[in-house]
Amino acid sequence: MVLTKEYRVCMPLTVEEYKIGQLYMIARHSLEQSEEGEGVEVVENKPCEDPVHGKGQYTEKHIHLSSRLPYWIQAICPRVFYVIEKSWNYYPYTLTEYTCSFIPKLNVLIKTKYEDNSGSTENCLDLTEDELKVRTVDHLDIAFDEVSAKHYKKEEDPKLFKSEKTNRGPLIEGWRETDKPIMCSYKVVHASFEVWGLQTKVEDFIQRGIREILLLGHRQAFAWVDEWHGMTLEDVRAYERQKQAETNEKIHNTSGGSNAAAGDGDID
């Protein structure tokens, strides 16, 4: 059975603003989370087109994370391990898939849509009746839900941060009901790992990891707003290319990183 969760993450931004903020945040976050031989390697980044959603951007990334996995997953994975992330960004709609060639029964599919509201749309991603029956909804609060201690930075705390460019923040209790502008990221995550004895444990681990990444990434997008606000799409694409080159260099800075790129598995 596929574990299905819907995350709703509000931010004091507009959907149009976040088009830039999302690209900036992902590029910078990927660089900051990468170390020698581990992290996010960008394999492909090119325009794409869909008959329903129109023009967009396709990216493929290899996420090298062997040492970051819990011991019970490391035990069944090779030392050189990566997950493959494929993403189709037709903003304000995106589709992201995670697979691993070493573990063919692992699949994570994330459908995302952004709207200018506080998370009030009950079926934003048009789930079927059967999907709605098994869906659970988790409202994330970027200010008052805590990230893990290893990810916490005082300067990225929305309860303390005030933007000089937009005059937004700090966020106070109840901000999602009072602050303007307000937008929401609706993310439906289907996670499946069909291996007897490990399915529930791995699917729960995946969902907890995704929740942490979503909380951290959206906090950073707001806390970094003064860095990206005012950028054009061309500006942020140039920044993205620069950071991707730096990230890839970091990944390949050891022989282990080079070997990983030659043949194994990835998450965003």
Lowest-pLDDT range, 44-48, 223-227, 230-234, 264-268?
A: 264-268
Q: Return the half-sphere exposure (C-beta side, CA atoms, 13 A cut-off) of residue 145.
A: 17
The C-alpha atoms of residue 223 and residue 26 are separated, in whole angstroms, by 13
pLDDT of residue 36: 60
The C-alpha atoms of residue 20 and residue 165 are separated, in whole angstroms, by 15
Q: Indicate the residue type of 73.
A: I
The C-alpha atoms of residue 27 and residue 246 are separated, in whole angstroms, by 10
Q: Answer whether CATH 3.30.530.20 is correct for domain 3-251.
A: yes
Q: Which residue has the higher pLDDT, 1 or 155?
A: 155
47: cis peptide before it, omega within 30°?
A: no
Residue 265 has pLDDT above 50, yes or no: no
Task: Give residue 111's pLDDT band: very low, low, confident or very high (50, 70, 90).
Answer: very high
Task: Give residue 106's pLDDT band: very low, low, confident or very high (50, 70, 90).
Answer: confident
| Continuous segment of H or E residues that includes residue 106 | strand 106-115
The C-alpha atoms of residue 131 and residue 144 are separated, in whole angstroms, by 29
End-to-end CA distance of the chain: 23
The C-alpha atoms of residue 9 and residue 37 are separated, in whole angstroms, by 31
